[in-house]
């Protein structure tokens, strides 16, 4: 949640901060604000609503020039999205400002104590407590903002990223992190803090990872990182491998359209470099021995939202290839049900950002039970990969739209690579069998491209169905998670009632939802690979059609047996059963995006949502 930018340098701090916030608005768009350290003291402005509201305010009433500053775009937790609850929050002296991502769980107790000691609060947020704590700590530390931050962080319970400035310390910005993302950008004569490297990619590709419970102080010429106890902390510097253009729309109306179009390349990039000179599969950071992997007797996939649906698809493939039982768990539920986990359990944590708090806490619970953990992630250096025993990075590039598209397809591909790697290590598959499956995977980018070239009728279908109030999605086998993902996309983007069901469950209740004209999307399995399942799904189509449903079938090219059961057909290239989700999902993404567009909704920033969920 929440986007954070901090800057010290020679440029206009406001220009740098606003540029970064534009790139981070996907993380939260309930309100936005800035704080600048000017020659006349601290200057702030903040406004409820999207970033444009703040920009318009700044145009009407410009702030003084400054080369030190910070900004914030908010996803509301404590306190509604109003001007007074927007960040930054200022202390009683008017000299110190703080911005925050996360939740301070003990803020009520802290606030009570501060109010008792004479501090006046002007907002409903947990964050303002930190501003007043820093006020007192700054005075006690003799004007050392970094020391004040260290002292305050020790008092806080919860997950947080904090960034602060003080008008009496005009040449520095101080940040801290615990279970919430913060990354440093190293420039020449300037340095940056941000929730994500995309905020400063236009200025530098050199980034510095921050570890847990660390405080960072940036000045024009230096970066200092310590633990909360003040000890020097080790850091890891790396180079960002994509450029600023990757985070721009590139001529597309929406980021989501651009990211849908980038899926062939994202899948191809995720497959690159996975086979060593010996012809065997390799993963990015494998810190588990072959012997440890041979001891695995159960796999648990933990994930949230779209990543959970990717895990559902992965279950079919991994069990089929390895013969290891696989469970797929909602990360938000995992640790609360006393799961059975031991050293022979492999937990696969899937997260686009690598900072998803529900998944991170589930991962930590698994590690406490001595399970081995493998992460599938799109963000290098994020927390989940750092706390895992092994990592497979997807190479989707930056995904800005809140509703996930290319991250979803690359998560499926990455999970398939994990399954094949396990099959290789455990001897479940011969080398030529693995090679044949990899060939099928390498064929998918071109086939996804072919699907994208035929989407105009799907866009028109959305216009036809825009007045419908409910849409159902059906599938069997790997088509069932595809149905779940199709329904999720429509909920996220078009704010419609949409449900995904296993087609065989229709007659056990859900068919009661079908009435005359109800749109029903059905993913039809290939008649070649699983003909029995194919015929059963076609029977399910006939069942809903008999109740008046408007049937929209996703079927492979050449399958003419479904023609009479369809009101609308979306054709996809023929492929093996386990590869079909990589194709069948794409029309559902396009449909949801177009449905939101014709309804006049914001495709990239749907209401109440944020890209990276860093609170539980």
Q: How far apart are CA 464 and CA 323, in angstroms?
A: 45
Count structural domains, the chain: 3
Mean pLDDT to the nearest integer, 27-52: 93
Shared-domain flag, residues 48 and 185: yes
* Angle of the 406-426 helix axis to the 580-598 helix axis, nearest 10: 160
Q: How far apart are CA 175 and CA 100, in angstroms?
A: 10
Placement of tokens 């609850």 in the chain: 85
Placement of tokens 């999205």 in the chain: 81
Quote the tokens at residue 140. 């006690």
Shared-domain flag, residues 228 and 281: no
Distances (CA, A) of 96 to 107, 137, 231: 19, 11, 25
Shared-domain flag, residues 58 and 199: yes
Task: Please check the confidence at residue 306 and state whether its pLDDT lies above 70.
Answer: yes
**CA gyration radius, the chain:** 25
Sheet with 31-38: list strands edge to edge. Answer: 41-48, 31-38, 66-74, 3-8, 191-194, 183-186, 206-209, 236-239
Distances (CA, A) of 218 to 142, 224, 453: 19, 7, 48
Placement of tokens 């994202």 in the chain: 266
Placement of tokens 């396990």 in the chain: 422
pLDDT for 530 equals 64
* Domain end marker among 452, 472, 507: 452
**Of residues 544, 538, 518, 521, the one with CA closest to residue 591:** 521
Structural domain includes residue 247: no
* Phi, psi dihedrals of residue 34, rounded to the nearest 5°: -135, 155
Three-state secondary structure readout of 43-73? EEEEEECCHHHHHHHHHHCCCCCEEEEEEEE
Q: How far apart are CA 388 and CA 376, in angstroms?
A: 10
Q: Read off the CATH number of the domain in which 545 is found.
A: 3.40.50.10490
The helix/strand/coil state of 396 is coil
pLDDT for 487 equals 98
Shared-domain flag, residues 488 and 594: yes
> 2-32 burial, b if ≥16 CB within 10 A, otherwise e?
bbbbbbbbeebbbebbbbbbbbbbbbbbbbb
Structural domain includes residue 101: yes
* Domain end marker among 242, 277, 297: 242
pLDDT band at 614 (very low <50, low <70, confident <90, very high): low
Shared-domain flag, residues 315 and 373: yes
Q: Read off the CATH number of the domain in which 204 is found.
A: 3.60.20.10
Structural domain includes residue 612: no
Give the Cβ contact number of residue 399 at 10 Å.
27
Residue 286: its H or E element: strand 285-286
Shared-domain flag, residues 371 and 478: no
Q: How far apart are CA 342 and CA 559, in angstroms?
A: 46
Q: How far apart are CA 508 and CA 530, in angstroms?
A: 23
Placement of tokens 């980021």 in the chain: 255
Structural domain includes residue 216: yes
* Domain end marker among 184, 212, 242: 242
Shared-domain flag, residues 140 and 204: yes
The yes-or-no answer on residue 2 being catalytic is yes
pLDDT for 131 equals 97
Structural domain includes residue 491: yes
pTM above 0.75, yes or no: yes
Task: Please check the confidence at residue 493 and state whether its pLDDT lies above 90.
Answer: yes
Give the Cβ contact number of residue 59 at 10 Å.
8
The yes-or-no answer on residue 611 being catalytic is yes
> Are 418 and 318 spatial neighbours (Cβ–Cβ below 8 Å)?
yes
Report the share of the chain in percent with pLDDT over 70: 97
Placement of tokens 């491998």 in the chain: 241
pLDDT for 616 equals 64
* Cβ contacts of 345 within 8 Å, gap of 6 or more: 296, 297, 298, 299, 300, 366, 369, 371, 372
pLDDT for 198 equals 86
Shared-domain flag, residues 110 and 187: yes
* Cβ contacts of 265 within 8 Å, gap of 6 or more: 445
Shared-domain flag, residues 344 and 432: yes
**Of residues 239, 256, 173, 194, the one with CA closest to residue 18:** 194
| Tens digit of each residue's pLDDT (9 = 90 or more) over 404-456 | 999 999 999 999 999 999 999 999 999 999 999 999 999 999 999 999 999 99
Quote the tokens at residue 351. 């997260």
pLDDT for 80 equals 83
Decide: residue 131, CB within 10 A, 0-12 exposed, 13-18 middle, 19+ buried: buried
pLDDT band at 520 (very low <50, low <70, confident <90, very high): very high
Structural domain includes residue 543: yes
∠ Cα 249 401 71 (to 5°): 85
Single out the catalytic residue among 2, 304, 575, 593. Answer: 2
Structural domain includes residue 439: yes
Quote the tokens at residue 391. 């990592």
Alpha helices (H) in 495-579, listed in sequence order: 531-546
Q: How far apart are CA 163 and CA 35, in angstroms?
A: 11
Placement of tokens 């010996």 in the chain: 278
Shared-domain flag, residues 37 and 23: yes
Mean pLDDT to the nearest integer, 563-579: 96
| Tens digit of each residue's pLDDT (9 = 90 or more) over 151-184 | 999 999 988 999 999 999 999 999 999 988 899 9
Shared-domain flag, residues 232 and 319: no
Placement of tokens 């409820």 in the chain: 48
Q: How far apart are CA 564 and CA 475, in angstroms?
A: 18
Give the Cβ contact number of residue 608 at 10 Å.
9
Quote the tokens at residue 133. 């704590």
Q: How far apart are CA 518 and CA 511, in angstroms?
A: 11
Structural domain includes residue 606: no
Shared-domain flag, residues 472 and 552: yes
| Tens digit of each residue's pLDDT (9 = 90 or more) over 62-88 | 999 999 999 999 977 778 889 999 999
> Are 6 and 191 spatial neighbours (Cβ–Cβ below 8 Å)?
no
Q: Which domain holds residue 23?
A: 3-242
End-to-end C-alpha distance for the chain, whole angstroms: 11
Task: Please check the confidence at residue 31 and state whether its pLDDT lies above 70.
Answer: yes
pLDDT band at 27 (very low <50, low <70, confident <90, very high): confident
């Amino acid at each position: 949640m929440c986007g954070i930018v901090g800057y010290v340098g020679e440029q206009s701090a406001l220009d740098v901060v606003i540029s970064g916030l534009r790139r981070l608005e996907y993380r939260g768009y309930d309100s936005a604000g800035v704080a600048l350290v000017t020659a006349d003291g601290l200057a702030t402005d903040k406004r409820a609503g999207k970033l444009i509201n703040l920009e318009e305010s700044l145009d009407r009433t410009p702030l003084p020039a400054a080369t030190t500053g910070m900004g914030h775009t908010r996803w509301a937790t404590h306190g509604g999205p109003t001007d007074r609850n927007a960040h930054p929050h200022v202390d009683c002296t008017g000299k110190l400002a703080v911005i925050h991502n996360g939740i301070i769980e003990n803020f009520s107790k802290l606030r009570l104590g501060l109010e008792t000691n004479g501090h006046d609060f002007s907002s409903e947020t947990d964050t303002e407590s930190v501003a007043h704590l820093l006020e007192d700590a700054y005075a006690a530390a003799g004007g050392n903002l970094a020391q004040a931050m260290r002292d305050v962080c020790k008092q806080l319970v919860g997950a947080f990223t904090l960034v602060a400035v003080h008008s009496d310390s005009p040449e520095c910005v101080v940040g801290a992190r615990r279970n919430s993302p913060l990354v440093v950008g190293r420039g020449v004569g300037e340095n940056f803090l941000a929730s994500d490297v995309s905020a400063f990619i236009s200025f530098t590709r050199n980034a510095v990872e921050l570890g847990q419970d660390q405080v960072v102080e940036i000045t024009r010429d230096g970066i200092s990182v310590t633990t909360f106890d003040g000890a020097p902390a080790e850091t890891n510097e790396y180079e960002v491998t994509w450029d600023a253009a990757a985070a721009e729309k590139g001529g597309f109306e929406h980021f989501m359209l651009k990211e849908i179009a980038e899926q062939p390349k994202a899948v191809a990039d995720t497959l690159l470099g996975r086979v060593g000179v010996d012809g065997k599969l390799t993963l990015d950071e494998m810190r588990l021995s072959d012997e440890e992997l041979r001891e695995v007797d159960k796999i648990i996939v933990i994930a949230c939202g779209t990543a959970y649906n990717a895990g559902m698809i992965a279950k079919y493939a991994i069990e089929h290839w390895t013969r290891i039982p696989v469970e797929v768990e909602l990360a938000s539920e995992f640790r609360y049900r006393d799961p059975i986990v031991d050293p022979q359990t492999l937990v696969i944590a899937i997260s686009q950002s690598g900072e998803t708090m529900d998944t991170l806490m589930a991962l930590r619970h698994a590690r406490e039970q001595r399970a081995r953990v493998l992460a599938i992630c799109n963000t290098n250096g994020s927390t989940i990969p750092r706390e895992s025993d092994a990592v497979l990075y997807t190479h989707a590039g930056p995904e800005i739209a809140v509703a996930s598209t290319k991250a979803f397809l690359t998560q499926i591909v990455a999970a398939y690579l994990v399954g094949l790697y396990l099959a290789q290590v455990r001897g479940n598959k011969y080398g030529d069998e693995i090679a044949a499956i990899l060939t099928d995977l390498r064929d998918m980018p071109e086939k996804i491209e072919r699907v994208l070239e035929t989407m105009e009728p799907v866009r028109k279908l959305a216009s036809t169905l825009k007045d419908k109030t409910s849409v159902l999605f059906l599938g069997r086998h790997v088509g069932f998670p595809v149905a779940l993902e199709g329904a999720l996309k429509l909920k996220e983007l078009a704010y419609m009632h949409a449900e995904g069901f296993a087609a065989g469950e229709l007659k056990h209740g859900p068919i009661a939802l079908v009435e005359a004209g109800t749109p029903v999307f059905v993913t039809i399995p290939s008649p070649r690979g699983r003909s029995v399942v194919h015929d059963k799904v076609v029977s399910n189509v006939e069942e809903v059609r008999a109740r008046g449903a408007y049937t929209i079938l996703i079927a492979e090219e050449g399958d003419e047996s479904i023609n009479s059961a369809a009101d609308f057909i979306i054709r996809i290239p023929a492929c093996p059963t386990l590869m079909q989700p990589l194709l069948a999902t794409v029309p559902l993404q396009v449909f949801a995006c177009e449905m939101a567009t014709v309804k006049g909704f914001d495709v990239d920033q749907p209401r109440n949502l944020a890209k990276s969920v860093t609170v539980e």
